[in-house]
Amino acid sequence: MSKLKGKFMFSNGNKIYKKFDKDYTKHKKGYVIIAPPGTGKSYFVRNQTKDKKKDFIDGDVLLSQLGVNWKLGKFPDPDFVLSYKRADLMLEQSRQYGYRILTSTFFEFNGDALVLPKIKDHKKLVEKRKDLSWKFVLQMRKRFEWFAKKYYKTPIFETFNEAIEYLNKKKPDKGFSNRMFTPANKCPY
């Protein structure tokens, strides 16, 4: 029997969401844009207009505030899987709440769009970061693309602005997203 290192719980997140409501816009239509590490998600969020509430939340910031720890073990360790599945639920909840999120943290969650920059551009961005290896990022990129094409039919874009333009024109989904809970263990990457 395995012993879990992390002890998970779900609790009322109203205090956390109230803090985010001060800095981020709650929209009628929330959505989640997924992109692999090293694509400029955090940079994009930081450089939004500073004279008003921001439209986009960095998924790492949101999920860490909601208690998700994505650094517990490695796949297929139970701690890792449970933490990432919790991230899926928190992303869906935040999306339904009206937030617009840029993230790479998910397990089986289907975002509303996937951003995959051109390979050469993505590699240049990753090479500037000491905390990422291109080998790891390339594997994640393949995994994200596989899920988007194989299971979700998620639209794929080269830039955040292209994805945002598309999503702003798209009619909102009604009710709870049925875009979760696919067989992650079947992904070859």
pLDDT beyond 70 at 189 = no
Give the pLDDT of residue 89: 87
Q: What own/partner pairs with CB < 8 Å and gap ≥ 24 does 85-88 have?
A: 86/8, 86/10, 87/63, 88/180
Using pLDDT thresholds of 50, 70 and 90, give the confidence band for residue 183. low
Task: Provide the whole-model pTM.
Answer: 0.86
Angle of helix 134-147 relative to helix 119-127, nearest 10 degrees, comes to 140
Amino acid at 19: K
Tell me: the pLDDT tens digits for 83-122? 888 888 889 889 989 999 999 987 778 899 999 999 999 9
Tell me: the pLDDT tens digits for 2-51? 566 666 666 678 889 999 999 999 999 899 999 999 999 999 999 997 77
The encoded tokens of residue 91 equal 């992303």
